[in-house]
């Protein structure tokens, strides 16, 4: 066979195999036997091996795997992968519907979908080819698992039809129950422990280093959300149908995996149907997702910091189990907060073995009337976190006594305090209690703060125990010679750690401020304080009254900041960090972009815009000293209105006499 003939045959086989894959996995309508398919695939693999010049990363031969990935690159999501707000009751769903109708006038059409119990995935396609697959990660960035995802038969490597030049599609990767059962049977036969549940198995498989093993696991998928800069369809439902035409495995309408709902009653009918029928599905689900169908309305409703306002997840009632309470222990967090933990007789619950459950605080223990030896009812809140919801008093041991909450810290024996109005007890020994000291350093190195490569919680434990670090500033004076030879530390690991520490000096001021771990100062608050005060010195010298004047900074947060910097030990840590060259002020570049042109002005952004996204406009408002709010009031300075602005907002703005400006008006205002 000549080179040209080989090329033609390779292209012919790829096209044929792709079509058979689609018929078998997407349409459940195969036209050839498994044996015939395998023969065609073997022929393709042989030809590609003989003619590597014709290799294609999206060839059907890539499904068999074989690539070994030692570590998975972390990549920032183009669009954040936010989580959904959860609800467990009809009343909360009715509240969700009422909130939508308050913001949007007219009829609202919803889309109801199954909430698949697997691992979330984001796929990028460029010119019809799969180019990237990312895990959800922390929602901002995820791990690149493209090589492993290419082995999953229901993920198309190449598309057909009128797909956009570049887009993302999101969905869930899971294991069908039958495949999971067979996988466990094979593991037991081979002498291995069986896997706990399909969800964990799917998630764990996706992060395996050898893609050949991934290819042998029974992974499946549903893709159900298309992400584009400009939507090619008007509604979420229509975009899913389009995705099916491009070659994706989408939730099937005829099986009622997805349905449109004209009102909240239709939503409840869908929920009630699947509350019973979910037990007959070939895969696991843990609820129903409800979304506003129209993209323009989604745009108007926008997002909170953590989730979209136009979608919600209804979770089915959690499974429950009864088991004895063996003991209660107490954990100390980085802020000194004490968390009681119930140690249970191991019990199988929702596919996993539960041994411990959080009891939250002293009030919760008192409310439950707990006694060691009680048989307690345990369920998984949101199917994830085990919690105790009750006690079977008929099985209570006769000589048991009510649990008395501890009075002293279990780690340093300092007497605990409980401030008025707070639920938790605290250990006040902030600088002498080991879990608090280590916890502060662990928070400082975390991904959302300094993101220091080469250091994890085990390393912090080791450094603290060896007397090498007791504050976050100590991490910047670690020396090569004192690290080399410590447990788990060879030349490469020491070099990685020191390089990670050095690289963290480039982290911007707002993340350093968040990393300090000031109580109540989360990511958003840290950013507001950093942008307002510009430098750590300005912040340290601010009065309570000045802090409260900052947008969205209440007295509780302000007092916490004052208390933190009033302690000379904290000021010394900051001075040490300065000396080591960390960013403790907004850069000149960032400051150059910031103005006070909109100082004292409050904006409501509503509608769809042509030149900038709503998020970009909101950032521009903040950079120029203005404030964003979600609802119109007498205090609103301007409504920045795009196309399809909600009629109720328009009416309210006009009735209150709030000026309505266009996108061009706003650009002129800040230019």
pLDDT in tens, 504-547: 999 999 999 999 999 889 887 898 899 889 999 999 999 999 99
Band (315; pLDDT cuts 50, 70, 90): confident
Catalytic residue (one of 15, 70, 76, 115):
115
* 3.40.50.1820, 1.10.10.10, 1.10.287.610, 3.40.50.620: CATH of 3-64: 1.10.287.610
DSSP line for 537-551: HHHHT--HHHHHTST
Mean local confidence (pLDDT), 280-288 = 90
CATH class entry, domain 434-506 = mainly alpha
* 2.40.70.10, 3.40.50.20, 3.40.50.10190, 3.40.50.300: CATH of 596-670: 3.40.50.10190
Contacting residues for 467 by C-beta, under 8 A, at least 6 apart? none
Q: What is the pLDDT of residue 15?
A: 84
pLDDT in tens, 137-194: 888 889 999 999 999 999 999 999 999 999 999 999 999 989 988 888 877 776 666 7
Q: What is the pLDDT of residue 401?
A: 94
Q: Is the pLDDT of residue 125 over 70?
A: yes
Distance CA 157, CA 175 (A): 20
Residue with tokens 């590609």: 48
Q: What is the pLDDT of residue 381?
A: 54
Tell me if 570 sits within 8 A of 577, measured CB to CB.
Answer: no
Element (H, E) at 292: strand 285-292
Q: Is the pLDDT of residue 425 over 60?
A: yes
Q: Extract the runs of DSSP E, i.e. beta strands, from 320-473.
A: 320-332, 338-349, 352-358, 375-381, 385-391
Q: Among the listed ranges 259-273, 283-297, 566-580, 587-601, which one has the minimum average pLDDT value?
A: 587-601
Where are the chain's structural domains? 3-64, 86-315, 320-428, 434-506, 509-592, 596-670
Q: What is the pLDDT of residue 35?
A: 66
Of residues 642, 657, 639, the one with CA closest to residue 603: 639
Asked if 115 is an active-site residue, the reply is yes
Q: What is the pLDDT of residue 64?
A: 61
Q: What is the pLDDT of residue 654?
A: 87
Band (55; pLDDT cuts 50, 70, 90): confident
- Note the CATH number of domain 320-428: 2.40.50.140
pLDDT in tens, 14-34: 888 878 777 766 665 677 776
Q: What is the pLDDT of residue 103?
A: 87
Mean local confidence (pLDDT), 556-583 = 95
Contacting residues for 12 by C-beta, under 8 A, at least 6 apart? none
Q: What is the pLDDT of residue 384?
A: 54
Distance CA 15, CA 593 (A): 52
Mean local confidence (pLDDT), 481-500 = 90
Residue with tokens 């015939």: 36
pLDDT in tens, 334-352: 889 999 999 999 998 866 7
Distance CA 450, CA 501 (A): 9
pLDDT in tens, 223-240: 999 998 888 899 999 999
Distance CA 551, CA 529 (A): 9
Q: Is the pLDDT of residue 113 over 80?
A: yes
Report the 10 Å Cβ neighbour count for 96: 21
Band (609; pLDDT cuts 50, 70, 90): confident
Mean local confidence (pLDDT), 548-567 = 90
Q: What is the pLDDT of residue 379?
A: 83
Of residues 154, 150, 149, 134, the one with CA closest to residue 79: 134
Tell me if 404 sits within 8 A of 425, measured CB to CB.
Answer: no
Give φ, ψ of 668 to 5 degrees: -65, -35
Q: What is the pLDDT of residue 47?
A: 85
Mean local confidence (pLDDT), 53-58 = 79
- Note the CATH number of domain 509-592: 1.10.150.20
Q: What is the pLDDT of residue 123?
A: 96
Residue with tokens 């499946």: 220
Q: What is the pLDDT of residue 340?
A: 94
Higher-pLDDT residue of 443, 64: 443
Q: What is the pLDDT of residue 34?
A: 63
3-state secondary structure of 131: strand
Report the 10 Å Cβ neighbour count for 50: 12
Distance CA 161, CA 558 (A): 57
Higher-pLDDT residue of 120, 644: 120
**Average model confidence (pLDDT) across the chain:** 88
Please state, for a pLDDT cut of 70, what percent of the chain lies above it.
94
* 3.90.226.10, 3.40.50.1820, 3.30.450.20, 3.30.470.30: CATH of 86-315: 3.30.470.30
3-64 shares its CATH topology with 434-506 = no
Q: Among the listed ranges 35-49, 294-308, 478-492, 558-572, which one has the minimum average pLDDT value?
A: 35-49
Whole-Å CA distances, 501 to 435, 577, 578: 22, 12, 14
Q: Is the pLDDT of residue 382 over 60?
A: no
CA Rg value for the chain: 28
**Is pTM beyond 0.85 here?**
no
């Amino acid at each position: 066979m000549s080179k040209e003939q080989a090329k033609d045959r390779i292209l012919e086989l790829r096209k044929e195999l792709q079509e058979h894959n689609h018929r078998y996995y997407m349409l459940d309508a195969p036209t050839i036997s498994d044996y015939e398919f395998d023969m065609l695939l073997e022929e393709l693999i042989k030809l590609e091996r003989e003619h590597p010049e014709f290799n294609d990363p999206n060839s059907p031969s890539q499904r068999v795997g074989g690539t070994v990935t030692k570590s998975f690159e972390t990549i920032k999501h183009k669009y954040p992968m936010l989580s959904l707000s959860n609800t467990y009751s009809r009343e909360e769903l009715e509240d969700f519907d009422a909130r939508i109708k308050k913001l949007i006038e007219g009829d609202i059409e919803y889309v109801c979908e199954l909430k698949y119990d697997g691992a979330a995935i984001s796929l990028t396609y460029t010119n019809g080819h799969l180019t990237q697959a990312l895990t959800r990660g922390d929602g901002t960035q995820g791990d690149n698992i493209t090589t492993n995802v290419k082995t999953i038969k229901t993920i198309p490597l190449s598309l057909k039809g009128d797909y956009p030049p570049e887009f993302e599609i999101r969905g869930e990767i899971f294991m069908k129950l039958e495949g999971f059962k067979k996988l466990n049977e094979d593991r037991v036969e081979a002498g291995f422990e069986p896997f706990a549940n399909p969800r964990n198995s799917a998630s764990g498989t996706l992060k395996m280093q050898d893609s050949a093993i991934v290819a042998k696991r029974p992974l499946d998928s549903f893709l159900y959300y298309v992400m584009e800069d400009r939507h090619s369809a008007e509604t979420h439902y229509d975009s899913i149908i389009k995705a099916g035409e491009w070659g994706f495995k989408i939730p099937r309408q005829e099986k009622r995996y997805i349905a449109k709902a004209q009102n909240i009653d239709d939503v409840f009918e869908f929920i009630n149907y699947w509350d019973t029928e979910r037990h007959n599905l070939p895969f696991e689900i843990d609820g129903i997702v409800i979304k506003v169908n129209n993209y323009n309305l989604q745009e108007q409703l926008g997002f909170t910091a953590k989730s979209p306002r136009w979608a919600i997840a209804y979770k089915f009632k959690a499974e429950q189990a009864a088991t004895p309470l063996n003991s209660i222990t107490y954990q100390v967090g980085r802020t000194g907060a004490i968390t009681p933990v119930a140690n249970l007789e191991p019990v199988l619950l929702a596919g996993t073995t539960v041994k411990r459950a959080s009891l939250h605080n002293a009030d919760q223990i008192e409310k439950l009337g707990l006694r060691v030896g009680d048989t307690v009812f345990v369920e998984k809140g949101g199917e994830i976190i085990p919690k105790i919801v009750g006690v079977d008093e008929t099985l209570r041991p006769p000589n048991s006594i009510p649990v008395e909450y501890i009075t002293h810290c279990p780690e340093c024996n300092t007497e605990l305090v409980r401030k008025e109005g707070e639920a938790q007890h605290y250990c006040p020994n902030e600088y002498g209690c080991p879990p608090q000291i280590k916890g502060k350093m662990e928070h400082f190195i975390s991904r959302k703060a300094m993101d220091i490569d080469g250091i994890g919680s085990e390393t912090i434990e080791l450094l603290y125990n060896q007397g090498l670090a007791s504050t976050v500033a100590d991490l910047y004076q670690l020396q090569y010679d004192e690290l080399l030879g410590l447990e788990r530390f060879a030349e490469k690991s020491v070099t990685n750690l020191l390089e990670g520490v050095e690289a963290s000096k480039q982290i911007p001021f707002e993340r350093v401020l968040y990393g300090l771990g000031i109580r109540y100062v989360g990511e958003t608050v840290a950013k507001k304080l950093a942008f307002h005060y510009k430098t750590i010195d300005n912040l340290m010298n601010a009065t309570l009254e000045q802090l409260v004047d900052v947008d969205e900074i209440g007295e509780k947060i302000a007092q916490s900041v004052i208390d933190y910097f009033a302690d000379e030990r904290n000021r010394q840590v900051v001075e040490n960090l300065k000396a080591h060259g960390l960013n403790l002020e907004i850069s000149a570049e960032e400051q150059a972009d910031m103005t006070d042109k909109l100082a004292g002005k409050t904006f409501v952004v509503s509608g769809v815009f042509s030149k900038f996204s709503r998020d970009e406009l909101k950032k521009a408002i903040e950079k120029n000293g203005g404030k964003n709010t979600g609802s119109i009031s007498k205090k609103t300075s301007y409504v920045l209105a795009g196309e399809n602005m909600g009629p109720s907002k328009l009416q309210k703005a006009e009735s209150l006499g709030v000026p309505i400006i266009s996108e061009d008006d706003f650009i002129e205002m800040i230019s």
